Amino acid sequence: MAKLNLTLKVWRQENAQAQGRIETYQAKDIPEECSFLEMLDIVNESLVHEGKEPIHFDHDCREGICGMCSLTINGVPHGGKKVTTCQLHMRQFKDGDTIWIEPFRAKAFPILRDLMVDRSALDKIIASGGFVDVRTGAAPNANNMPVRKKTADAAFDAAACIGCGACVASCKNSSAMLFTSAKAAHLNLLPQGHPEKNKRVLAMVRQMDALGFGNCTNQYECEAACPKGISVDNIAKLNRDYMVACAAEAVAVYS
């Protein structure tokens, strides 16, 4: 099995306040079939043996679903292969390659250490309105409300977002529109989410703006970087829903 020798240009930063810098490491004898994070494990193991501090990065499930892993690889979040970093495999690289590894960058995602960033801004957007306000126990029978299969499928497509933040990190404007619109679309499409639709849209958009994310300029870089294929159709829908919600807020008695 082929082994790779790579040069890594890695962003190192001791903590949130420290000045970061790029450092160069040699990754030697990397098995081609290991994942990107396992490659970093190998590098870290040797760093620790040399008594140096390992490269810190976020990761957890390592099967592409928890959304915890990040890393911008050669300028593209998750490396741009339509998978999360943990599912990116080293056979995508060639022997002798130089790989740039940086954190997900955005003002709204402050760096905590090395490649770890704080993405709690995304949680705050959800907390502002990304839910259906039902209490446990109050729910009617699940089959009381039929949902058109196409609608349910579209809602699922939007709900597949793993909240990794690659959309923000890939955006030339650090906009969180894809994330916000996906959650809004998931809930707005379903009849269960309908009663709070306008309220939700206004709250989520205003929260998103307040958190310091940039504005969408329709470049669709987010869609291309998204490991879960979330569509920018959701952004168009959010724009539409936002207009309606504003109109309703301004003039309608029942909004």
Q: How many residues bind another protein (CB under 8 A)?
A: 130
128, two tokens: 């502002």
Nearer to another protein, 6 or 205 (CB): 205
* 25, 179, 182, 237: which one binds another protein (CB under 8 A): 237
Restricting to residues 25-84, which ones interact with another protein according to CB under 8 A? 31, 33-35, 37-38, 41-42, 45, 48-49, 51-54, 56, 58-68, 72, 74-76, 80, 83
Rounded to a whole number of angstroms, the minimum distance from the CB of residue 1 to another protein is 8
- Given a contact cutoff of 8 angstroms between Cβ atoms, the answer to whether 64 and 86 are in contact is yes
Q: Which of 71, 108, 167, 182 binds another protein (CB under 8 A)?
A: 108
Which of 6, 8, 71, 162 binds another protein (CB under 8 A)? It is 162
Instruction: Give the x-and-dash track for 170-209 against another protein (CB under 8 A).
Output: x-xxxx-x--------xx--x-xx-----------xx-xx
The site map against another protein for 120-149 (x = CB under 8 A) is x-xx--xxx-xxxxxxxxxxxxxx-xxxxx
Shortest reach from residue 237's CB to another protein, in Å: 7
